[in-house]
Amino acid sequence: MVDVVYEDNQILVVVKPQNVPVQLDDSCDKDFLTILKDYLIEKYNKPGKAYLGLVHRLDRPTGGVMVFAKTSKSAERLSKQIRENEVDKYYLAVVDGIPRYKQSRLVNLLKKDEKNNIVKIAPQYEDGAKEAILDYQLLETKNDKSLINIQLETGRSHQIRVQLANIGCPLCNDQKYNPNSKKGNLALWAYKISFNHPVSKKRFTFKVAPPIDVNPWNEFNIEKYI
């Protein structure tokens, strides 16, 4: 079942489930892009294959709102917006601990260990390291946990998880970067995206709440911030 937020003849805005890869990976689990193409084929009774342009990504354990392009021209225009930082992407996260500052900009160099699928903070000028930038705002604290709003400026793999862990506030249920992690879905959700429609140029904003009845989201008044 595909959770469609908005659809027209140029774009498809949907909710990505957690723990589903956006694209085919080494696990060979069915990926979200294939699921969506199957949805289009079935809905419009398309013969053969359906086109769907992937213009941005979410890590496998992260859920939330995504936009896809239904034409190559729209894919090109949306990708251009992303390259030029005209697409605003916001996340909600629940972390262990309380950040030292209520709001701050985090700038780090990150390097991915492809073999072990781990991202680490890299020393300056290390080969292969890429700059990662995000802004965060502390929204609420409870029981030594914090609800945080994040705006990404860059979109590096595992970026939010690594940068928040680096300031002593790892994400709840993060099996990779939180040594005190409990079992459960990663407490990270892409809740808002804003972009210009690739044809009409109208500014669109879509919001989707995380699963607010599930721990640790249910410890906070999530609806107040959506």
pTM of the predicted model as reported, rounded to 2 decimal places: 0.94
Phi-psi label, residue 64: left if phi above 0, alpha if psi -120 to 50, beta otherwise:
left
Termini Cα distance of the chain? 24
Nearest to 39 by CA among 80, 4, 86: 4
What pLDDT is stored for residue 26 in this prediction? 65
Coil, helix or strand at residue 136: strand
Alpha helices for 117-214 (secondary structure H)? 159-166
| Rounded-to-integer distance, Cα 112 and Cα 187, Å | 21
- Quote the mean pLDDT of the chain: 94
Mean of pLDDT values over 58-66: 96
Model confidence band, residue 123 (pLDDT cutoffs 50, 70, 90): confident
Mean of pLDDT values over 17-36: 87
| Rounded-to-integer distance, Cα 214 and Cα 187, Å | 10
| Rounded-to-integer distance, Cα 116 and Cα 89, Å | 27
Report whether pLDDT(4) > 90: yes
Q: Residues 144-156: pLDDT tens digits? A: 999 999 999 998 9
Q: Residues 134-146: pLDDT tens digits? A: 999 999 999 999 9
- What percent of the chain is modeled with pLDDT above 70? 99
Report whether pLDDT(117) > 90: no
Which residues are within 8 A (CB) of 84 and not within 5 positions of it... i.e. 6 or more apart?
none
What pLDDT is stored for residue 125 in this prediction? 75
Active site residue 29: no
What pLDDT is stored for residue 126 in this prediction? 82
What pLDDT is stored for residue 35 in this prediction? 96
Model confidence band, residue 174 (pLDDT cutoffs 50, 70, 90): very high
Coil, helix or strand at residue 219: helix
CB neighbours of residue 176 within 10 Å: 17
| Rounded-to-integer distance, Cα 134 and Cα 136, Å | 7
Catalytic residue among 59, 96, 144, 174: 59
Token pair 């930038």: residue? 133
Mean of pLDDT values over 75-93: 96
Report whether pLDDT(1) > 90: no
